[in-house]
Amino acid sequence: MAEQHTGIGISIKNLYKIFGSDPAAYIDDVKAGMTKAELNDKHNHVLGLKDINIDMPGGGIQVVMGLSGSGKSTLIRHINRLIDPTAGEVIVGDEDVVKMNQLELREFRRHRTAMVFQKFALLPHRTVLENSVYGLEIQGVPREEQEKQARRWITRVGLEGFEDNYPNQLSGGMQQRVGLARALTNDAPILLMDEAFSALDPLIRMDMQSVLLDLQREIRKTVVFITHDLDEALRLGDRIAILRDGEVVQQGSKQEIVLRPADEYISSFVREVNRGRVISVEMVMTPLSAEPQGMPVSRETVLEVAAKTMTDGGEPMAHVVDSSGKPIGNLDINQVIAAMVTPVDHADAA
């Protein structure tokens, strides 16, 4: 037990989902370009997902973001095949979930995945401890081991002392901690979180984001995190994919999304972002062609921190260094400030 899994990647390939009485009849039309509106108007079928291709990093947090109805839940439910696709592949590790038979699928769901839901979905007549052991109970793990694991994760999410409480005795934030403890007790390498924090008050929500980030440094699971909130996406995501009307309109690192929003839809999300906390100096520096200037700052330093370091040091110039300390670019305080307040032209930063 308690073997720590890391690095199981998820690769979604050419995934389509059509809802309706005869999805297979329209897949060729959709592949040939029929739009969601056309499919709906002419054939009374709903295009849930269209040609989704996402490589989710093993051991990282993949965020899927989009407005309500964009297909986020439909997508995440394909990963443990709560929904069968109309076409496409869902490769987890080296297995295609779509091709699994019922027995394989059951084993896969029990041992490789855990879900955290927006509405917590706790069993009301079970205590915190009994909720947390639930997955291991189903797996037939000996009771002593169930409890040992559950107590460990209950403590780890900050609920020590509440083991014998019932869900209705806990606040929303605490209930979601139980949801997280239950998922972690399963010890599955993949954690699926569908708007898990969306129902929480803003401050509690930020707390939970911190709990997850803190845990993730230790557990290194492959986390798929769904949200409609850009701040949450930027805080949590190693990679972010943005859905609209069942299609991926952009995917990449948070920096790529903030610096180069692919279209007006994404720009409208990105406009309000605190750029100084997202963009790193590497993205705005002048690649080294002259002598390194001023003090060194590491390449992943965000603009806000770099600006403070430079002004505190009283120097208008700094140079950017890579992880081995090698200078890779020069940085002018004006460059930093400009990038914090306006979109930068990224052309010569790559």
Ligand X SMILES: Nc1ncnc2c1ncn2[C@@H]1O[C@H](COP(=O)(O)OP(=O)(O)O)[C@@H](O)[C@H]1O
The residues of the shown chain that bind ligand X, judged by CB under 6 A, are 19, 46, 48, 66, 68-74
Angle, vertex CA 233, rays to CA 73 and CA 272, nearest 5: 120
Instruction: Select from ligand X, Mg ion, none the partner in contact with residue 146, using the beta carbon and a kind-dependent cut-off of 5 to 8 Å.
Output: none
Shortest Cβ distance from residue 71 to Mg ion (Å)? 8
Shortest Cβ distance from residue 306 to ligand X (Å)? 36
Instruction: Select from ligand X, Mg ion, none the partner in contact with residue 66, using the beta carbon and a kind-dependent cut-off of 5 to 8 Å.
Output: ligand X
Site track for Mg ion across 192-211, x = CB under 5 A: --------------------
Shortest Cβ distance from residue 268 to ligand X (Å)? 17
Applying CB under 5 A, the span of 66-74, 99-107, 149-157, 166-174 interacting with Mg ion comes to 66-74
Q: Which one, 18 or 129, has the nearer CB to ligand X?
A: 18
Applying CB under 5 A, the span of 4-12, 73-81, 121-129, 135-143 interacting with Mg ion comes to 73-81
Q: Which one, 81 or 220, has the nearer CB to ligand X?
A: 81
Shortest Cβ distance from residue 194 to Mg ion (Å)? 6
Q: Give the residue, chosen from 62, 70, 73, 113, that forms a contact with Mg ion under the rule CB under 5 A.
A: 73
Angle, vertex CA 252, rays to CA 249 and CA 253, nearest 5: 140
Q: Which one, 48 or 58, has the nearer CB to ligand X?
A: 48
The answer to the question of residue 301 lying near Mg ion (CB under 5 A) is no
Provide φ and ψ at 227, rounded to 5°.
-155, 160
Number of residues that bind Mg ion (CB under 5 A): 2
Six-digit token string for 319: 């140079």
d(CA 14, CA 248): 11
Instruction: Select from Mg ion, ligand X, none the partner in contact with residue 237, using the beta carbon and a kind-dependent cut-off of 5 to 8 Å.
Output: none
d(CA 270, CA 331): 24
Q: Which one, 48 or 88, has the nearer CB to ligand X?
A: 48
Shortest Cβ distance from residue 72 to Mg ion (Å)? 5
Backbone CA torsion sign across 159, 161, 167, 170: negative
Cβ–Cβ < 8 Å for 138, 110: yes
d(CA 26, CA 36): 11
d(CA 109, CA 304): 43
Cβ–Cβ < 8 Å for 33, 137: no
Six-digit token string for 327: 């200078």
Q: Which one, 149 or 227, has the nearer CB to ligand X?
A: 227
Alpha helices in 68-190 (DSSP H): 72-79, 102-112, 128-132, 134-139, 143-156, 172-185
Shortest Cβ distance from residue 66 to ligand X (Å)? 5
Who's near 110: CB < 8 A, 6+ residues apart?
135, 138, 139, 186
3-class secondary-structure state, position 75: helix
Q: What is the binding site for Mg ion (CB under 5 A)?
A: 72-73
